[in-house]
Structure 1
Amino acid sequence: MRLKKWSLIAIVLVGLLLVQPITPSRASPQALDIATRGSISCATPTTDRIDCFVVGDDKQVWQHSWQSSLGWGNWVGLGFPDFTIDTGGGVSAVARDNTTIDIFVSGKDGNFFNLYQRTWNGTTWSDWISLGGPSSWDIYELSCTSASANNISCFVRASDNHLWQKTWSGSGWSTWSDLGAFTNGHPFKGLASSNYNADSILLFAIGNDGHAYRRYYESGVWSAWVDDGVPSGSPFEQVNCHDQAGSKITCAFTDTMGDVWYRTWESGWSTFMPLATPPSSGKGVAVAHYSSLGTVIITNALDGRLYRTFLTDSTSVWSSWIDNGRPQDIQIFLPMAIKPN
């Protein structure tokens, strides 16, 4: 009796296998992480929207957006370009107006890593456009900022360890301008740019000594680099800055221990202030302002995930770190049987 029972079960299982799709599943358990070596960037086209962009380990740009009425949405992959994105270079995003967002990456299609741009017009994404590179140098760090719909400034560190600039006037891109070598000719890592007022720009860079250095563009003149030091024994690794309506700038930093720091400017610079340690060591970092007074700081961590903390206004306290996940978490797939010939 028991033998007949198991024979019947076996016949049913074989029948189920025979009606399965012919093509086997090629999917396998995997997790798509955020590239930990690359920076992240957020744009705020309106006060009730934040669009954050990261480069995944799959070498495509992923978008993760927040709207005040909906909260955080799903991760959206923007597709694979016809060039190779540098996962170590990260991405820079700017909002030119209430609908237009530009993203920039360094990528390779040939011999050199050049700057590439893609634009969201409120409805669709454009194709990637190559903006070239400075001379025959590779592009490493990059950061772009926008003062208006007709103004974008992109800054890069090239393989000659100089700072280079390229600007958009509303009708076309300028040639590359060499802004000179970094302090003492040393290389730097981490680069942040932010407009404040109509024609003023703040730059931050992380020196090879782990110090934060800043530089200003005001009244048509660039200042010298100023060494702001480092607040602890751990050197800085990445930096990002964001302006809030020309009245406040917030800059966030990660250090080599994975901790996150920030400082603000509101008529003068505050000291470096620590945030609670993220659940996983912070690597890249991004800042965005929302509503009229809110600030959010986001880090892509060593575990390939995104974490955020926010401040609703200057009198509140920073929230605990919140896990925003990653483009694709581990999924378990049941294998499909192959129908025999």
Structure 2
Amino acid sequence: MAIPAALSTRAERAFMGTVLFQAIVVIVMVAIVFGKVADHVDLEQSRYKTIPCYLALFILAEVFELFMAYDALRLRNVIQLVGILLFHSALVVMAALQVHETRAALVLDASANWTTNYVGGGGPGTLWQTVFPFLIVSPVIIGVSWLVLIFFVRELYHEFGWAIFHIVGANPAAKTMYQFYQVIICLLKFDFFAFIGVTMQLLIIVLQRNTAEFGLTVAAIPIVLVLLIGAGLAVQREIKWLMSISLVLMLAAESYFFKLVRFYEPASRDQYITVRATLTTFTIIAFLLLFATFAIGLRCFADFDKGLLKSKLHDVTFRRGYSSSAPGTAGAKKEDGGYGSGAPLGQRVSIE
């Protein structure tokens, strides 16, 4: 039985369409805010740098979510779909925080109206009141689309229910090991976004280009990317030495989050004032994601050499169809009623 291509079912098309629609709306709303603010203030001033960062973050987040959504549908990966729902809920929080931080950047005098202080006022007719409706649209649209996505993930859960069975067979232990493998691969992808999100905010808003901290932050980008890619290859191909190095580097990378202290200590807190809430949220999430990746990585390391390597190398990532010789079919032939024969499986049973 051949696996249908991504977006071949109604639920898949609806899921992807929902993500695409909300991505377009949110990016347009953020771009409008950016354009209106850029017309009246100098975005190079530290106070207003939160606005271009706001635009960059949401473009990154929406493009990343589109990629993750298509990737999950292509791989028929229910765990990654659940991860997207969690990521989407985090986007709601991030969009709400941006309303607060944009106000902190723009409003210098909450009682002033457009006649006395158009740019820095918070009253009727001011720049803040002009962009506020566009800021509110983003969390509302993301929240509504999140509810829609939950509905379609439920349908996809049933559609994808037999995917792991075809890869690893009916062995419950193999199924559990494979699910942990899927979890760590999914976590590594979200680690990438969290790290890039924190780094982008630091580089755009806070750090001066002529400082050592700026150089160290830039240098950390390729190091972390190599770490994430190396960890993914190690767990997929069960390379013990590479997995050991990756786990050690994950622990070392946790020290990067000393920056969380700098957001609030008296000597440096003023430079983070317009982005403190978002940076704190991103940093804590990145810390928790990396710690979870380390913990799941230990579990996956313990599962090396237990017969799962063939399934990892021949799962949906590498082939788009299941033959009679695929893992889990036990070599059954079509005429003998093997897993490669008969009509497509329905939604009666799900083992995810």
TM-score bracket, normalised by the shorter chain, equals: under 0.3
Structure with more of its chain in helix, by fraction = 2
TM-score, with structure 1 as normaliser: 0.24
TM-score, scaled relative to structure 2: 0.24
Higher strand share: 1
The structure with higher relative contact order (CA 8 Å, sep 6+) is 2
